[in-house]
């Protein structure tokens, strides 16, 4: 019986192959998108490898199947990928509050492994890596043909281990090696809440808060900081999202709820299937705050959840944006576990701002454009470094002006002055 079944299957496959040939001669367009025809091609290629390839160790079914799936996902976009069981487990580890590494978010852009943003107070941040830096090599291995998942695996490692990155900085075309010691990454999301110095703001009381990334506690931490600033008489607020690589969507929605009130739609998603269409609103319990003027600072390192917040508050006429166009990572990835413990991370939808503007690959454009040189960006990173500065650091910071912050403060001073004149 088993032999008969096998023969029947073989005859069916041969018949299918004949049908493929006939259809290819008659209607190539139809054959091109026919699932059965193309699965037959895939199976034939696998059969030839299993039968004739010189190195038998590379021809087991799982290895060939995984390689074929990885090839399919590599043809889609940088954010979709196939994960073997160990990779899926590693991704789940990364979503926890602490993880080992050098503290940078990376993606592939124009085929090049690119730093989206280094996380503050991490080894990558302290080493001086900047958004937009291109990682040419990892421990001497060229990244040009390297899969994103493989690059991430090479960047990971136990705390205390070192990794050497060869970095090309597009702004200067300088190539430099950075040897960085991995550490357990702990990130504080809300920082530097204060009223800006009167030298910058004059008589206006302008608050400043910086969000480094979006986690579950971010909105609660921000709320406490805003309460304190409002108690001090804050008249306007600058929210700094520069070099914020994103985080969890719920954290971004809850942060929006601090400024636009309850039950307000701040972002939506749309994909090919109806289930991908979703609307995200602020909590019905969102705290109502005074509608003071706001400016949000963004740059090329502002990505994902940071772009959602910037785009929402702009479209809802709640804030002006100052700085440079954001990174442009506005797609939804669904993680699905497969039967054998492997998984896929598949882009299933795109994010849209309340004004129906797409974020993905376009970014969020500022209302007031204010650029920084590579030197100024390095100085900004140095200024944010915690733990004290040595004399060389202080010398490098001499004369530094945060021109983007200054532009935002000037804009808000104008709004406050105009509002006062109308009273």
The confidence score (pLDDT) of residue 99 equals 59
State the Cα–Cα distance between residues 164 and 167, nearest whole angstrom.
9
110 an active-site residue?
no
3-state SS class at 395: helix
State the Cα–Cα distance between residues 375 and 385, nearest whole angstrom.
16
Q: Which residue has the higher pLDDT, 3 or 65?
A: 65
The answer to whether residues 211 and 179 touch, using CB atoms and an 8 Å cutoff, is no
State the Cα–Cα distance between residues 128 and 133, nearest whole angstrom.
10
State the Cα–Cα distance between residues 98 and 332, nearest whole angstrom.
23
pLDDT tens digits for range 110-149: 889 999 889 888 899 989 899 889 999 999 999 988 888 7
Judged against a pLDDT cut of 50, whether residue 196 lies above it is answered with: yes
CATH superfamily of domain region 85-185: PDZ domain (2.30.42.10)
State the Cα–Cα distance between residues 285 and 397, nearest whole angstrom.
44
Question: Picking from 4-13, 165-174, 363-372, 398-407, which range would have the lowest pLDDT averaged per residue?
Answer: 4-13
Query: Quick one: three-class SS letters along 138-195?
Result: ECCEECCCCCHHHHHHHHCCCCCCEEEEEEEECCCCEEEEEEEECEEECCCCEEEEEE
- By C-alpha distance, which of 393, 326, 377 is closest to 169? 377
Residue 159 makes CB contacts below 8 A (sequence gap 6+) with 100, 182, 183, 184
pLDDT tier for residue 91 given thresholds of 50, 70 and 90: low
Tokens 């367009």 locate to 29
Tokens representing residue 254 in the block: 């809850």
Tokens representing residue 8 in the block: 């029947």
Judged against a pLDDT cut of 70, whether residue 199 lies above it is answered with: yes
Judged against a pLDDT cut of 80, whether residue 7 lies above it is answered with: no
Catalytic residue among 304, 326, 331, 378: 304
pLDDT tier for residue 6 given thresholds of 50, 70 and 90: very low
State the Cα–Cα distance between residues 128 and 178, nearest whole angstrom.
9
3-state SS class at 210: strand
DSSP state of 247: B
Judged against a pLDDT cut of 70, whether residue 13 lies above it is answered with: no
Give the pairing of strands 162-169 and 174-181.
antiparallel
189 an active-site residue?
no
Give the pairing of strands 265-271 and 236-240.
unpaired
Catalytic residue among 149, 329, 378, 413: 329
The answer to whether residues 299 and 366 touch, using CB atoms and an 8 Å cutoff, is no
pLDDT tens digits for range 349-359: 999 999 999 99
3-state SS class at 249: helix
Judged against a pLDDT cut of 80, whether residue 390 lies above it is answered with: no
CATH superfamily of domain region 190-421: 2-enoyl-CoA Hydratase; Chain A, domain 1 (3.90.226.10)
pLDDT tier for residue 326 given thresholds of 50, 70 and 90: very high
pLDDT tens digits for range 224-280: 999 999 999 999 999 999 999 998 899 999 999 999 989 999 999 999 999 999 999
Q: Which residue has the higher pLDDT, 393 or 347?
A: 347
Q: Mean pLDDT over all residues of the chain?
A: 87
The confidence score (pLDDT) of residue 114 equals 94
The confidence score (pLDDT) of residue 202 equals 94
Q: In Å, how far are 108, 134, 200, 267, 279 from 331, measured between CA atoms?
A: 14, 22, 38, 12, 14
The confidence score (pLDDT) of residue 30 equals 54
- Domain boundaries, given as residue ranges, for the chain: 2-59, 85-185, 190-421
The confidence score (pLDDT) of residue 396 equals 85
């Amino acid at each position: 019986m088993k032999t008969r079944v096998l023969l029947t299957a073989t005859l069916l496959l041969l018949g299918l192959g004949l049908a493929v040939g006939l259809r290819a001669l008659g209607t190539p367009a139809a054959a091109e998108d026919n699932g059965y025809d193309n699965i037959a091609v895939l199976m034939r290629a696998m059969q030839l490898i299993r039968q004739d390839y010189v190195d038998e160790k590379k021809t087991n079914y799982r290895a060939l199947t995984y390689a074929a799936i990885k090839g399919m996902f590599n043809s889609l976009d940088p954010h979709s990928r196939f994960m073997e069981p160990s990779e899926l487990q590693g991704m789940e580890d990364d979503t926890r509050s602490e993880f080992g590494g050098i503290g940078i978010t990376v993606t592939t852009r124009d085929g090049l492994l690119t730093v989206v943003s280094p996380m503050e107070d991490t080894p990558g941040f302290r080493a001086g890596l900047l958004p937009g830096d291109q990682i040419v090599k990892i421990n001497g291995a060229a990244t040009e043909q390297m899969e994103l998942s493989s690059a991430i695996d090479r960047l990971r490692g136990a705390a205390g281990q070192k990794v050497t990155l060869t970095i090309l900085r597009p702004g200067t075309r300088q190539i430099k090696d950075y040897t960085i010691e991995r550490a357990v990454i702990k990130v504080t999301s809300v920082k530097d809440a204060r009223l800006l110095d009167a030298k910058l703001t004059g008589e206006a009381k302008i608050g400043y808060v910086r969000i480094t990334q979006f986690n579950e506690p971010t909105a609660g931490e921000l709320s406490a900081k805003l309460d304190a600033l409002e108690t001090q008489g804050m008249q306007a607020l600058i929210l700094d999202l520069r070099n914020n690589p994103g985080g969890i969507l719920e954290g971004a929605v809850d942060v929006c709820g601090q400024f636009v009130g309850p039950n307000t739609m701040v972002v939506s998603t749309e994909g090919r299937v109806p289930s991908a269409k979703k609307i995200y609103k602020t909590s019905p319990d969102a705290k109502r705050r005074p509608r003071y003027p706001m400016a949000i600072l963004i740059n090329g390192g502002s990505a994902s959840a940071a772009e959602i917040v910037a785009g929402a508050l702009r479209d809802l006429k709640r804030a002006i944006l100052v700085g440079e166009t954001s990174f442009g990572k506005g797609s939804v990835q669904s993680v699905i576990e497969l039967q054998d413990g492997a998984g896929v991370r598949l882009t299933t939808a795109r994010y849209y701002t309340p004004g129906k503007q797409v974020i993905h690959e376009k970014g969020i454009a500022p209302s007031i454009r204010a650029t920084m040189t590579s030197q100024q960006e390095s100085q900004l990173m140095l200024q944010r470094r915690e733990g004290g500065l040595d004399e060389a650091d202080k010398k490098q910071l001499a004369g530094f002006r945060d021109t983007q912050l200054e532009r935002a403060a000037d804009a808000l001073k104008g709004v406050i002055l105009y509002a006062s004149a109308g009273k």
